[in-house]
Amino acid sequence: MTTIEFSHQVAGLRGALQSFTRRFTLDREESRDLVQDTMLKALLHRDKFRENTNLKGWLFIIMRNTFINNYRKTRRKLALRTQSNEHQLRSREDEHTFSKPHENLEFKEIWTNINNLRQELMLPFKMHSSGYKYHEIAETLGIPLGTVKNRIFHARKEIQKNLQGY
């Protein structure tokens, strides 16, 4: 099969590839990118395709592997970014209070309670109190928006419960 014939057959399977992406993602742009990456890899590695084999199946395998590799890269980047954000948030105290909070026992008590929260509640709460928007927190941590709101709500409730004496 010539390169032109191969290219036409790959291009003819674009619709099937587009449909197949629904197994991986519902995002239209991510779906288009995945199809484009798959077709590009197929054309670049045409020499690895064996004649008289299932081209559609070969493309689906390329697509699946591309999606898995991209997913793993994204998770690694997110883990590194989350660790970096955690370090920044732990090393920074809120400076938006009146008087000198370093000498204020109540201020220290509040921060002690915040730092004693479970990790899954503390990080979204600190990010939100540092000015991040809900959708930014969800994107950074890789969790749904509703989960972010829920965790911030429960963090507030837990802090309020621990500070009832004040």
Predicted pLDDT of residue 94: 54
pTM of the predicted structure, to 2 decimals: 0.47
pLDDT along the chain (166 residues), means of 10: 85 89 84 91 89 88 90 82 69 56 66 82 86 89 91 89 74
SS3 (DSSP) at 63: helix
Per-residue pLDDT, 112: 80
Residue 164, pLDDT score: 76
pLDDT at position 101, please? 53
Give all domains of the chain, ordered by start, each with its CATH number.
3-77 (1.10.1740.10), 92-162 (1.10.10.10)
According to DSSP, residue 91 is labeled: T
In this structure, what is the dihedral angle of CA atoms 86, 92, 97, 98, given to the nearest 10 degrees? 170
**Count of H helices and E strands in the chain?**
8, 0
- C-alpha 96/C-alpha 161 separation (Å) is 23
